Structure 1
Amino acid sequence: MNIWNKYTSIIRDNILTSSQENKDLKYWRDDMFSNTIIYIIPLSVIALIPSVIWAFEEKLYLMVVVDILAVFLAIITGIKKEIKIKKRKLLFIGTVYTLSSFLIYFVGLNSTLYLLAACFLATFIYTFKNQYAPALFNVYISILYIYLYYLDLTPPHNINFKSNELFAVFSNLIFLSFLVCSLVPKLFNGLDESFKKSIHHTKKIEKQNEVLKEITWIQSHVVRTPLSRLMAITNLLKENDNTEEEKTFLIDNIIVSSKELDQVIKEIVTKSESIGSSEN
């Protein structure tokens, strides 16, 4: 467990930089990417063994190289320090698409699922200028495979696919890829709006709390000064041995303290109204 915690800590520290303190939508997408890398490295290492054995048995040595290179690049994506997260994502996406393309070429049409997964991952973890870029990648790869198929340049075990099956598989792949590229950005746009509203609401509450703290401090400290003075003066006025001059002095102080208290109350009212206006 300690090894796993240390491993996940290394990956997260490399990917989620210290500057990402505000947990906005970008942070959560980066967090999703870091979790993807955390789990994909050990899983890909496990999957590498049977894949390499199969490739050796089929004498597909290029596939062996691609498999090993893909796992190596996945490890580099997570472990290597001082790589900007944008480059990490592009490296990972490129690795997944490359591996998927070779799998389709050597294994067959059953591996088109990897291309769809690549499109899904790319759309989730990276913001493309053209939101349909991952789907277009799948279009290009599909066209390339079909072209190689008609030139009889695909491995022999893939030739048994009929043309209509070929077009059916790739047309569904392209359809689903464009569907993913259409819906996922809408999902993130909705989440982004929710995040912004949540952050705005949190800041508003924090501001209101600061005002309430100020009001509390005013009530417990500032109000107490003129109020205590008024109470002391009224006690002095109760005494019958005050001279006219002393009474005048005390009354003047009552007026001053009353004005001071009135000013403090107005300040409290103003701050209270500011809380009410910020809620609207």
Structure 2
Amino acid sequence: MLSHRAIKKLWANYKQLVERLMKDSSVSAEKNLVYWQNRLFVKAIIYALPTGLLILIPSVILELKAGHPYVAITDICMMAFVITIALNQNQTLHSRKVWVLITVAIFAISMIMFMGMIVMGFIYLFALVVFSSLQFSDKWAYGVVGLNFLVFAIISLILFFDPSILFVLSKNLDLNRWLIFSVNFIFVNFLMAILIRQLLKGLDKTILQVVFLYRELHREVAEKNNKDAKLTASEIEHNKAIEARNEQLKEIAYLQSHIIRRPLANIKGILELLMHKNNVASEQELLINLDVSVKQLDVVINEIVRHSNEDYKYTHG
């Protein structure tokens, strides 16, 4: 017996194989309605193949025991054809859908007209309406409903004019009952096609709106990033300008504190020497005034140096 882990691994490998075989490079990777329709088709095939095989085996055995080998052969051929079509990488996904639709339609009509399996035939024809409504456009969906109507109309005419042509069907169902079945069945088909198509149209609009909003959001984010980048560049230039200004201020402070103060110190020294000599009163007064002026100039220079240092500290935090 296979363990649970082995079964999960086997199932995962099977899914990967089917998805790889059903990959269609011609289909856009954009996640629009067609993308999700294709994904739904792939998922349907993934689950339909093993389920169909499990149902096919006992069905064939029972049909052979009942003495209906042609029914068993038809079942096997239909299943083999669907598998071959679905996994054929040389065909586009759209072509595979069309061929699956045609195959199941032929099988369903054969079941009703030649095998007398009315219920199963009805189920398959109804499934075709659902399938075409989910996977194709309005024309395809309503076209399949029209095909079902045509099939039932032809069978009704045969039952009316010459029931012996469809002996298997006519012995199980008279014309009146057939017409009642047909009218109700076509009505349900048409209603289902309308509901599914309206649902998908609404879903398509929602997807387009979401895509539009996503693109708008992406555009706004890109614009914001560009603005931030420009702002960052502007800030860098501003910081460079501040650094250059600070360098200039430092140079000015250096000149003021070293180059200018040196001659001032010399002047002050000379003045001190002159003031200690015995000079006339006018010269003494002049020298005193000169000394005051020099001291005032020294105070101003020191103030400039102090402001320059404070400005540098402020701009550099």
Tell whether the structures are fold-level matches, with TM greater than 0.5. yes
Over 3 Å counting, the alpha-carbon distance change for 1:54 and 1:104 in structure 2 is farther
Higher alpha-carbon deviation: 126-135 or 93-102: 126-135
Q: Is the 8 A contact 1:119 1:177 kept in 2?
A: yes
SS in 2 for 1:20: coil
Where does residue 134 of structure 1 map in the other structure?
Answer: 144
SS in 1 for 2:60: helix
Where does residue 104 of structure 1 map in the other structure?
Answer: 112
Where does residue 216 of structure 1 map in the other structure?
Answer: 228
Where does residue 79 of structure 1 map in the other structure?
Answer: 87
1:8 aligns with 2:15: yes
Q: Name which of 55, 62, 73 aligns with 1:65.
A: 73
1:43 aligns with 2:55: no
Size of the alignment, in residue pairs? 243
2-structure distance, mates of 1:49, 1:153 = 31
- The one-letter code sitting in structure 2 at the alignment partner of 1:110 is V
Higher alpha-carbon deviation: 83-92 or 208-217: 208-217
SS in 2 for 1:23: coil
1-structure distance, mates of 2:246, 2:53 = 86
Higher alpha-carbon deviation: 8-17 or 111-120: 8-17
- With normalisation by structure 2, the TM-score equals 0.69
- The one-letter code sitting in structure 1 at the alignment partner of 2:18 is I
- With normalisation by structure 1, the TM-score equals 0.77
What are the superposed Cα offsets for residues 86-133 of structure 1, whole Å, 9 maximum, x if unpaired? Answer: 210011111111221122231433221221111111221122535410
Where does residue 176 of structure 2 map in the other structure?
Answer: 164
Over 3 Å counting, the alpha-carbon distance change for 1:144 and 1:61 in structure 2 is farther
1:33 aligns with 2:19: no
2-structure distance, mates of 1:167, 1:141 = 12
Where does residue 226 of structure 1 map in the other structure?
Answer: 238
Task: Report deviation, 1:134.
Answer: 1.0
What are the superposed Cα offsets for residues 23-64 of structure 1, whole Å, 9 maximum, x if unpaired? Answer: 110000011111111111111111112322333234333322
Over 3 Å counting, the alpha-carbon distance change for 1:58 and 1:128 in structure 2 is farther
Q: Is the 8 A contact 1:44 1:71 kept in 2?
A: yes
Q: Name which of 83, 93, 114 aligns with 2:124.
A: 114
Where does residue 154 of structure 1 map in the other structure?
Answer: 166
Higher alpha-carbon deviation: 120-129 or 186-195: 120-129
What are the superposed Cα offsets for residues 181-222 of structure 1, whole Å, 9 maximum, x if unpaired? Answer: 222222111111111111111111111111222222223333
SS in 1 for 2:165: coil
Uncovered stretches (5+) of structure 1, i.e. residues with no partner: 244-280
Q: Is the 8 A contact 2:21 2:87 kept in 1?
A: yes
Larger radius of gyration: 2
2-structure distance, mates of 1:170, 1:63 = 24
What are the superposed Cα offsets for residues 222-247 of structure 1, whole Å, 9 maximum, x if unpaired? Answer: 3222233135415644845479xxxx
2-structure distance, mates of 1:192, 1:156 = 45
- Output the aligned Cα RMSD: 2.4
Where does residue 248 of structure 1 map in the other structure?
Answer: none
Q: Name which of 155, 169, 174 aligns with 1:145.
A: 155
2-structure distance, mates of 1:68, 1:88 = 19
Q: Name which of 53, 57, 60 aligns with 2:61.
A: 53
Over 3 Å counting, the alpha-carbon distance change for 1:149 and 1:56 in structure 2 is farther
Over 3 Å counting, the alpha-carbon distance change for 1:85 and 1:156 in structure 2 is closer
SS in 2 for 1:129: helix
2-structure distance, mates of 1:174, 1:12 = 35
